[in-house]
Chain A
């Protein structure tokens, strides 16, 4: 199965600090996504990204969040000023063509802990 990788696996930060979570999607995939899973809760959609633009975002994805693909390979999620409630597992996903017949392939996740 194609593999999406994420770094770091675990990030601990102080409240108010900026964090950048990194994802390396599958090389020929064009559509990218971020999800988060607060401990014990369901996986929630954050944002989808295609052609260097946000395609869709959820109400969770406020001005504190941003995404970019700075070098054509990494796909990053930045949280500008972290809050305690941002503590969660963050998953990156990639899909080939963004069609309904595509499968979204998920990375192993980054566990973000905000103290």
Chain B
């Protein structure tokens, strides 16, 4: 069975500091990986995705993520956090063999304090 794990329910970081939101996955097949962000009362907004190629993917709002096949991870990072980055972040995986179905992690709440 396919699954995504976000081991931290919450991440706290001070504004200006680097942030990391962790994601690991377990799939049988070739993974395509995504990060979405959810602000209160809003839908999931696409941040970035890894399909193939360079393991370091850059996305919206200065976020980036690194695909690590050996560690089956796709951690989200940002060099300098903003208070406005505070939101709920979801990692998701789909398969090259069946890309119609997304599997989501449980979400990580990012709190950026001024």
Contacts and interface: CB of A to CB of B under 8 A. Distances in A.
User: Real complex partners, A and B?
Assistant: yes
Contacts of B45: 1, 106
Contacts, number: 64
A45 B102 contact: yes
A4 B44 contact: no
Nearest to A45: B101
B22 interface: no
Contact of A55 (B32, B34, B41, B100): B100
Interface in B28-66: 32, 34, 36, 41-46, 49, 51
Interface residues of B, number: 26
A6 B87 CA distance: 21
Contact of A35 (B46, B99, B102): B102
B20 interface: no
Interface in A27-59: 31, 33, 35, 41-45, 48, 50, 55-56, 58
A48 B44 contact: no
Contact of A42 (B41, B46, B99, B106): B106
Contact of A106 (B44, B101, B107): B44
A104 B33 CA distance: 12
A51 B5 CA distance: 33
Interface stretch (B10-18, B67-75, B78-86, B90-98): B90-98
Contact of B44 (A31, A43, A44, A101): A43
A interface, size bucket? 20 to 34
Q: 7 nearest interchain CB pairs?
A: A43-B104, A106-B44, A106-B43, A100-B99, A48-B100, A108-B43, A42-B106
Interface of B: 4, 32, 34, 36, 41-46, 49, 51, 90, 92, 94, 96, 98-107
Given A35-B104, A42-B4, A100-B99, 15 more contacts: A31-B100, A33-B100, A42-B104, A45-B104, A48-B101, A58-B101, A91-B43, A91-B44, A98-B99, A98-B100, A105-B46, A106-B44, A106-B46, A107-B43, A108-B43
